[in-house]
Amino acid sequence: MERIKQNIIVDADSCPVKEEIIIIAEEFKSEVFLISSYAHNVVDKRVAKSIIVDKDREAADLYIINHVQKGDVVVTQDHALASLLLPRGANVISPRGMIYDEDNISNLLHLRHLSQKQRRAGNKTKGPKKFTETDRINFSNVLRKILSQKEGL
């Protein structure tokens, strides 16, 4: 059975699992697109598709939105970006391995809104938990599972 080539698009500016993505992409013969801004300039010589965009705040997000195809896998920790990619048929996962879907995206956006509201009011909010080796392993397992399902394995 011939493998179906899957694209993996990475919101690469602050992605802590780029190495895992590259390794897993090689296993599945997937193409990886690392999208980053000039400010971060994420380039990996093993990946032919390192794309650098303007340093504007949303430039990487806009590039991803404009180039994602149905069935692509997108790695991002940006809930708003995830919410825009889901209707386009993308498989969106966080670097911790959380799968964004229609069942959880509204709640995630609501919590994000509440945190922003608290910060605007001058209150402190908790940031994300420290990224752990368990998060890294969970992400790798979820990405492999998604790519395996796409291949019918």
Quick: pLDDT tens for 113-153: 667 766 677 777 677 789 999 999 999 999 999 999 866 55
Q: What is the mean pLDDT of the chain?
A: 85
Query: Residue 41 has what pLDDT?
Result: 61
| pLDDT: which is higher, 45 or 133 | 133
Query: Residue 142 has what pLDDT?
Result: 98
Query: Residue 5 has what pLDDT?
Result: 66
> How many angstroms separate the CA atoms of 129 and 125, rounded?
12
Q: Which CATH architecture has domain 7-123+130-151?
A: 3-Layer(aba) Sandwich (3.40)
Entry pTM: 0.83
> How many angstroms separate the CA atoms of 46 and 113, rounded?
38
Domain coordinates of the chain in residue numbers?
Answer: 7-123+130-151
Query: Residue 144 has what pLDDT?
Result: 97
Q: Rounded mean pLDDT of 64-87? A: 95
List Cβ neighbours of 89 (8 Å cut-off, separation of 6 or more): 69, 70, 71
Which tokens in the block code for residue 146?
Answer: 């998604």
pLDDT at 39 over 70: no
Q: Rounded mean pLDDT of 69-76? A: 96
pLDDT at 75 over 90: yes
Query: Residue 45 has what pLDDT?
Result: 64
pLDDT at 1 over 60: no
